[in-house]
Chain A
Amino acid sequence: MTGVSGDSFNLEFYRSYTAREAWGLHAMAFDRSENDGFAALQHNWLLKRWNLPNAQANTYAGIGAGVAKREGASARPAAVGAFRADYETRRIYTAFEVKGMTSEAFNRSVTSVETGFAPYLAEFDELNTWIILQAKHTSGMDDNFDLIPKLRFFKDNIFVEAGVTHRGKPMASLMIHF
């Protein structure tokens, strides 16, 4: 998964080795003008999944270790952690996510809440469309809050979303299941 949102850039590449566990690379640049960022090897777990007749809910957690770097400084060891919870039906979608990174270089956390709806009920082999509103807070930055209306599309193994923050900065995300 890769994406840019406001001032931040996010790259995640995971390999699932069971239905509940995946590991991979998580890298993030928080502020393109200051060049703050980290790269880490991360392990994710599906903590609990509720498979309901017309809905699904999930909780996930992830931890990782890597390096963080501020512009002009040397790289420092960093630890990352993440928690996510979501609930969706074929018509509505909600998600909460918090990601944190700590190091001697700097600390950051990104908290995000998303809610959205599908304007039509799409089947498995059709183009799925979602209209989503995301509120995102990033700690330790001047412009630390973004409200992002966005469109999400997926078909087969490809997922894309695009939007614009309330400050007029573009947001885009791409995810592919291999």
Chain B
Amino acid sequence: MKTISAILFSALLTALSAKAAPDRVMTIKASVDGMVCAFCAQGLTAHFRNHDAISNIHVSLGRNLVILEERKGKSISDEEIAKAVERAGFDAPNNINRVATPFDDVKNAED
């Protein structure tokens, strides 16, 4: 009985950890201050374009947002996002939100 419980518990843990990289595509909204110049913010996109967990990126100067679309089944950590933003010369994001709203809807939203 103990063996069966251990196997079930282990299977539950495996299933839960698989949830860390969800099958549905997530859109990430990272709030970054100081993005007022499109030319100066070019460096922001460079890192994310080459990241295998990111399929799309958009920078909204008007909303102070870096919008990322994760690839299905893959994930990028908040720490990695913060490091990439800092490497581009900006401060780490004030806020990082993950939403299930499609990337284009977030990109085209008013706020």
Contact = CB atoms under 8 A, between A and B. Distances in A.
A53 to B, nearest CB: 5
Interface in A135-161: 154-157, 159
B88 to A, nearest CB: 6
Interface stretch (A64-72, A74-82, A102-110, A118-126): A118-126
Contact of B88 (A19, A55, A123): A19
Contact of A19 (B39, B62, B89): B89
28 contacts: A18-B87, A19-B43, A20-B89, A49-B89, A50-B34, A51-B32, A51-B33, A51-B34, A51-B91, A52-B33, A52-B34, A88-B37, A90-B61, A90-B62, A122-B38, A123-B60, A123-B62, A124-B35, A124-B38, A124-B41, A125-B38, A128-B38, A128-B39, A156-B42, A157-B42, A159-B39, A175-B39, A177-B42
Contacts of A156: 42
A56 B60 contact: no
A33 interface: no
Contacts of A124: 35, 38, 41, 58-61
Interface residues of A, number: 29
A156 B87 CA distance: 19
Interface residues of B, number: 24
A123 B34 contact: no
Given A90-B37, A123-B61, 20 more contacts: A19-B43, A20-B89, A46-B89, A52-B33, A52-B34, A54-B64, A55-B36, A56-B35, A56-B37, A88-B36, A123-B60, A124-B38, A124-B58, A124-B60, A125-B38, A125-B58, A126-B38, A128-B39, A159-B39, A177-B43
A89 interface: yes
A119 to B, nearest CB: 15
B68 to A, nearest CB: 14
B83 to A, nearest CB: 11
Nearest to B92: A51
A46 B91 CA distance: 14
Nearest to A56: B34
B104 interface: no
A90 B87 CA distance: 22
Nearest to B63: A123
A55 B89 CA distance: 14
A111 to B, nearest CB: 23
Interface in B42-99: 42-43, 58-62, 64, 86-91
Nearest to A87: B36
- Top-8 shortest CB links A-B: A51-B34, A124-B59, A56-B34, A19-B89, A154-B39, A51-B33, A124-B38, A51-B91
